[in-house]
Amino acid sequence: MPALPGFRDFYPEDCARRNYVVETWRFVARGYGFVEYDGPTLESGDLYRKKNEEGAEILEQLYYFRDRGDREVALRPEMTPTLARMVAAREKHYRKPMKWFCVSNFFRHERQQKGRLREFLQFNADIIGESSPEADAEIVALAVDLMRSFGFSEEHFVVRLSDRKAWMDFLASRGCDEAQSRLALECADKIEREPEEKLNQKLASAGLTVADLRTFISGGSPEAFEPVLAALGARGMTRFVEPDLSIVRGLAYYTGVVFEIFDRSKSLRALAGGGRYDGLIKGLSDGGADLPAIGFGMGDVVLGHLIDETPAADERRKSANPPSCDVFVVIADEARRGDALGVVQEARDLGWKVDFALKPAKVGRQFQDAEGIGAARAILVGAEWPVLKIKTLATRQEEACERSGLAERLGIPGDR
Ligand code: HAM
């Protein structure tokens, strides 16, 4: 029986790929001074229902059910509402700004398409309690450096920077009320994906046309971008960023700068997306917590496709995955299996990754297995006991070694 559609099995090679992505995310985020947190996989359904309008895409994709205690619950489709809930409950415990990241799995009942699954992994980084453009730039810079750490350059990706507030001002100037603005933003979000005719029908009730939206989009770069672009320029990151008002983001809570990362060839869906959401924490707080916030999410699915398609990134991933075994103990004489186990244990205690044959096997077969799992060295335990042979598999060089001198000869990892 296969896994459900949109859900993945992780065989060891898939886990190795996943671990590479997760470790890179964690390493780069820590380099920016972010600390890790997490929340529950299952949340109260109200957390998403109350914050979104009826019919919002994220609600239609929710895994939503009644649990055995008759509570309405949902598998988390994203982290931001959980983060806002956690922050609203305990923000007084933490210095501001809070720089938090997480790596978690999320669930959305998406239509089957390339780059979208129903369970995926997403890295989130958010800065809470700071409203300055410096915080906006810090978040965008982190997103850029994540991409660079995977081996991508400006040839491969672009951050498209926009401003929800500029959109809201424009829509207000056209006399749109809240519901009409929401509808207009939804249409703007789909402008490149849905037929113009269909969008014009929807926009009619807001007194707008696709042409109006396009005119606003091509109107250029709002002033709000300048300090953000300056702070990115000072980091040498201008080449990764393009102002682009066609980005509006599908989620309702954004209030200011928003951005998405795309591959340059535009053949894939967004790699990451986020923005400023200054009202969400207040909306979830009973005790008056009211903090500005900005952050983004980067998923593992589109990222994985782009790594596969980009030789520089693929090479980097391959060289980052260490072999599962350093030292293979070859048992050349079954009568010495007990002695060999002592050798295995000593090498493991030194910190080496050690493997050996669990049942009798020909010596040639054991060497093949050693090479197959990428071991650098083999220790031969056989008739010459208590003398061992240590073989460097790449060069086939062999040295004799007294059993009593093994620890000294092997050394410790990182000290070869
Ligand atoms: P989002 O744009 O919905 O934003 O998701 C961010 C990224 O997660 C997407 O660009 C994509 O890489 C990945 N992603 C989303 N849905 C799927 C899916 N079904 N399958 C695979 N990958 C997917 C958010 O989730 C916001 N909460 C991000 C945020 C954090 N905003 C502020 N802080």
Average pLDDT along the chain: 94
Ligand 1 contact, 329 CB (< 6 A): no
Instruction: Report in angstroms the alpha-carbon separations of 313 from 11, 46, 141, 296.
Output: 21, 41, 19, 22
What is the rounded CA–CA span in Å between residue 38 and residue 86? 10
> Stretch 151-168: mean pLDDT, rounded?
96
Distance 298 CA to ligand 1 centre (A): 6
Which carries the bigger pLDDT value, residue 223 or residue 270? Answer: 270
| Residue 192 pLDDT grade (very low, low, confident, very high; cuts 50, 70, 90) | confident
Ligand 1 contact, 272 CB (< 6 A): yes
Which of 8, 301, 306 to mutate for ligand 1's pocket (most ligand atoms within 8 Å of CB)? 301
| CA-closest candidate to residue 126, choices 306, 304, 241, 280 | 280
pLDDT digits (tens, 9 = 90+) for 94-126: 999 999 999 999 999 999 889 999 999 999 999
Place of tokens 């208590």: 386
Percent of the chain topping pLDDT 90: 85
Its sign, for the CA torsion 190, 196, 202, 208, is positive
pLDDT digits (tens, 9 = 90+) for 57-88: 888 999 999 999 999 999 999 999 999 999 99
- Type of residue found at 257: V
pLDDT of residue 416: 46
- Type of residue found at 26: R
User: Is the distance from CB of 104 to CB of 79 less than 8 angstroms?
Assistant: yes
Place of tokens 């700071």: 130
Given a cut of 90, whether residue 283 has pLDDT beyond it is no
Ligand 1 contact, 82 CB (< 6 A): no
User: Is the distance from CB of 54 to CB of 60 less than 8 angstroms?
Assistant: no
DSSP 3-state percent helix, strand, coil across the chain (nearest 5): 40, 20, 40
Nearest residue (by CA) to ligand 1, atom 30, is 296
What is the greatest pairwise CA distance in the chain?
Answer: 91
- Ligand 1 atom nearest 272 alpha carbon: 10
Instruction: Report in angstroms the alpha-carbon separations of 107 from 36, 100, 110.
Output: 20, 21, 9
pLDDT of residue 50: 77
> Stretch 304-314: mean pLDDT, rounded?
96
> Stretch 292-314: mean pLDDT, rounded?
97
What is the rounded CA–CA span in Å between residue 315 and residue 154? 18
Q: Residue 10 is encoded by which pair of tokens?
A: 């992780």
User: Is the distance from CB of 266 to CB of 246 less than 8 angstroms?
Assistant: no
Percent of the chain topping pLDDT 70: 98
Ligand 1 contact, 104 CB (< 6 A): no
| Residue 54 pLDDT grade (very low, low, confident, very high; cuts 50, 70, 90) | low
Its sign, for the CA torsion 60, 62, 66, 72, is negative
| Residue 224 pLDDT grade (very low, low, confident, very high; cuts 50, 70, 90) | confident
Ligand 1 contact, 80 CB (< 6 A): yes
Kindly list the structural domains of the chain, giving each domain's residue range(s) and its CATH number in brackets, ordered by start: 12-319 (3.30.930.10), 327-410 (3.40.50.800)
What is the rounded CA–CA span in Å between residue 398 and residue 400? 7
Distance 234 CA to ligand 1 centre (A): 28
Ligand 1 contact, 271 CB (< 6 A): yes
14's enclosing H/E stretch is helix 12-31
pLDDT of residue 55: 67
Which residues does 363 contact at the CB level (< 8 Å), separation at least 6? 330, 332, 380, 382
Cross-strand pairs, 380:
330, 389
Ligand 1 contact, 123 CB (< 6 A): no
- Ligand 1 atom nearest 303 alpha carbon: 12
3-state secondary structure of 119: strand
Please count the residues of the chain. 416
